[in-house]
Amino acid sequence: MAMLIQSSIAITSTILLLFFIISTSNPAAATNIHNVAKYVSQSTRQQFLGPQNTARAFLRVPPLKWDTKLEKYAQLYANKRRYDCALQHSNGPFGENIFWGSGRGWTPVQAASAWIDERKWYRYGSNSCARGQICGHYTQIVWRKTRKIGCARVDCFGGKGVFMICNYDPPGNYYGERPY
């Protein structure tokens, strides 16, 4: 069983890496001013969305669709966190995953991958996380009823790091319900 889990993690990591390479290898798309959103570029959207939809596809859960309302919500909250870079939830009406990394080089793929990596701690049989571990970021990503996503990334002031957030609608992680 452990070998199967390690193999699936290796396969998922390879798929995520390939997706990242493909999604960032088209400089023409990155330089076309008409493809740039008001808040988050198309490339950044794909960096957030791709790994999460790969995790959902692995479980045969329908893909998430990017939602500009959720994107705006995420960007407004990320802008508030820009001053202190505190790893605090917005406590809003949506499902939410947040990420903080020291320094400036953190990417949306790395944030999404960190959340997805919690899969190793989720126990489907008991619908819980392994003792002493967290897995709620992962379960929100693969929550079957969730259909929309919007995310944002900011460099915090004063070199305090990078803050990233994804919001999900409808939200997941309801007590007593399985994600998929």
Residue 66 falls within a domain, yes or no? yes
CA distance 64 to 45: 12
Residue 161 falls within a domain, yes or no? yes
Residue 55 falls within a domain, yes or no? yes
pLDDT in tens, 53-89: 999 999 999 999 999 999 999 999 999 999 999 999 9
Number of domains in the chain: 1
Helix orientation angle between 108-116 and 42-58, rounded to the nearest 10 degrees: 20
**pTM of the predicted model as reported, rounded to 2 decimal places:** 0.79
Residue 28 falls within a domain, yes or no? no
Residue 88 falls within a domain, yes or no? yes
CATH number at residue 48: 3.40.33.10
Going by C-alpha positions, the residue among 111, 108, 83, 96 that lies closest to residue 149 is 96
162-169 β-sheet, strand order? 65-66, 148-155, 162-169, 95-101
Residue 102 falls within a domain, yes or no? yes
Buried b (16+ CB within 10 A) or exposed e, 75-103: bebbeebbeebeeeebeeebbbbbbbbee
pLDDT in tens, 112-134: 999 999 999 999 999 999 999 99
- Give the SS3 label for residue 57: helix
Residue 180 falls within a domain, yes or no? no
Domain boundaries, position 118: 44-169
Residue 18 falls within a domain, yes or no? no
